[in-house]
Structure 1
């Protein structure tokens, strides 16, 4: 895949940002209430090629909506804004896989019609046809029990030849979007997140990426369509704003977590955050048999743990903004895990411009 060198793309970002500042482009190119507007402004993502993946699969068959319904909601919103979207996602749920990859075997792609009524024609008329693929490990078609590719597998495969073969995108996509995940990805569990891991895989390959995650209902076991839909509409507007200002970057991925709105809660404006350290979700291991050979993996949530394990110590933490205050939480995620590494001058300027956009110009809900 041929892409412009990073320095060249950074200079293009700076030039585009300066030009837009001179022309006074409006802060948001779309609205969330469906009000009429001109063709030019109603399709702010026209011509944008988006690779879509997730860690929840492309099945969308569970009553809880935990297995990929968010993928179809963000696909719908992006196509409505004019983007050409190709989805290449894990065949089975791969939550918690982080940046894991598969080191051998054969990948199989299964192209299936939309699993739920109401999503069949969301992307009709796009140049690629906007297929939705599930990727498994098999030498034939994916079946109900086929082991799944990981989220990072799907992005790496797509960027290293899959999109060229299936969609004709020889130069790759302009943007990778991952999600919308069933449940927030904040604080200590960010490293576990396959949604975030897939976005990190994209920036590793030199492609800008945005990772989207939505809160569930009060139980965090069911994931209402209302939450996915609200997040999808916000995300399409948010991405349009990034595009308008030339703020796509491959220096880091942007993580965007959306609060629960399923009971009519009012969403607070997006804020620029840091990944917290407090434990909100974790894995416990409980012995099943007296001999200790079998252990059940039991997910835990903060309410079940002593306060000392749940206390957030990071200022401006993503979990605090999202879960305690009800804000849309945005945080940059870097692929460079070297302790103490900081962005260079150009990276710091990009961070500063993104922070300004999030806090002053991004959509409010």
Structure 2
């Protein structure tokens, strides 16, 4: 059930009136017919569940967002970021039903990304969104991924980018780690994409594998995925394949050791588990406190880790090394055919026959 996100107050960390006026005027300026960039004129809202901090050495807190931002802008898109203030991994489709959302515009971007998106119509601001009635502080709680998308579509983009009737596409990610099989239900990256199609906006959720340990997330994986994703989006746009009837989930294999990603594969969401959640009692014995621990699923035959879906995203990605694409719907109703079958067939044909290969 869709809920109305009750926003009592939105406080910007920088004065936005002049910026908004400039963005409105810029949006009304038609694109140059001489432009050869494939995404020229495309307005993209970018969010994730890893935050916009990009401060951890493991690259697990938003570095992928800056790689896809760069790739989309390089292809000609106008990208605005409205992302969680803190890491929100595992939040799924959770929303916040009360309180105050505050935007913090990031003016100093991570090293190496400072000049990306220069010259776009909106100025391509990067915002983090926290739950606070004043400026976002380092320890401020965060908006959820779904919060950021719903807020952006209903209020934020009009107020801060001058987009009265946009965006054309929502992109979420690039997530630190794959979102496959049963973990799809937990994923804030996927949840944010679902929030977009709920509002009638096409959406793509991007997730990249980590290294062999799945505890570090190499820049090489993010960068390869970003290049692929920009070309993939360009192909969808060229073929008029954007749709809000379902979101597309695109997962990318580990290529950090120099291997190449195999051709995109059209997959189903698997039913097994990849990440195992465990709850370990704290000392002393009899304590009512339990530590939450995460690890790769043990995969014993017959346990919940065993994958039973023939064309599962998890096995196609992790065991066979393919880029995987799967359609995701909002209702997740078992046994019910979604509408848009013709669109589904056309996109499957694009993925398997025409999409970029790496």
Normalised to the residue count of structure 1, the TM-score between the two structures is 0.87
Q: Is the 8 A contact 1:60 1:115 kept in 2?
A: no
Instruction: Choose which of 283, 292, 299 in structure 1 pairs with 2:294.
Output: 299
Count matched residues: 324
> Within 1, Cα distance between the matches of 2:263 and 2:129?
36
- 1:342 aligns to 2:337 (yes or no): yes
2:154 aligned with 1:154: no
In structure 2, the residue matched to 1:14 is none
- Deviation at 1:40? 4.2
List runs of 5+ in structure 2 lacking aligned partners: 1-32
Cα-to-partner distance string for 1:150-204 (whole Å, 9 max, x where unaligned): 0000000000111000000010200000000000000010000000000000000
**1:257 — aligned with what?**
251
Distance 1:115 1:312 in 2: 41
Distance 1:164 1:180 in 2: 24
Task: Give the structure 2 partner of residue 126 of structure 1.
Answer: 120
> In structure 1, how many angstroms separate the alpha carbons of the residues matched to 2:172 and 2:332?
20
Any idea what SS the aligned residue of 1:59 has?
coil
Q: How many Å separate the matches in 1 of 2:189 and 2:160?
A: 22
What is residue 321 of structure 1 aligned with on the other side? 316
User: Aligned residue for 2:241?
Assistant: 247
- Distance, in Å, in 1 between the alignment partners of 2:34 and 2:145 is 35
CA distance in 2: counterparts of 1:99 and 1:280, whole angstroms: 20
Aligned pairs for 1:36-115 within 5 A:
40-41=35-36, 43-115=37-109
SS in 2 for 1:307: coil
Counterpart Cα distance in 1 of 2:35 and 2:119 = 17
Inter-partner Cα distance in structure 2 for 1:296 and 1:233: 39
Shift of residue 114, structure 1, vs aligned partner? 3.9
Post-superposition offset of 1:39: 6.4
The gaps in structure 1 that reach 5 residues or longer are 1-37
Any runs of at least 4 consecutive aligned residues in structure 1 with deviations exceeding 6 A, and if so which? none
- Describe the SS at the equivalent of 1:108: strand
Are 1:364 and 2:357 matched, yes or no?
yes
Deviation at 1:113, TM superposition (A): 2.3
Cα separation, 2, equivalents of 1:114 and 1:278: 41
2 CA distance for matches of 1:54 and 1:44?
Answer: 24
Task: Select 2:227's aligned residue among 233, 236, 244.
Answer: 233
- Where does residue 190 of structure 1 map in the other structure? 184
Aligned Cα root-mean-square deviation (Å):
1.2
Question: Are residues 1:287 and 2:297 paired?
Answer: no
Separation (CA, whole Å) in 2 of partners of 1:300 and 1:342 = 34
Asked if the contact 1:59–1:115 (Cα under 8 Å) also holds between the matched residues in 2, the reply is: no
How far off is 1:305 after superposition?
4.7
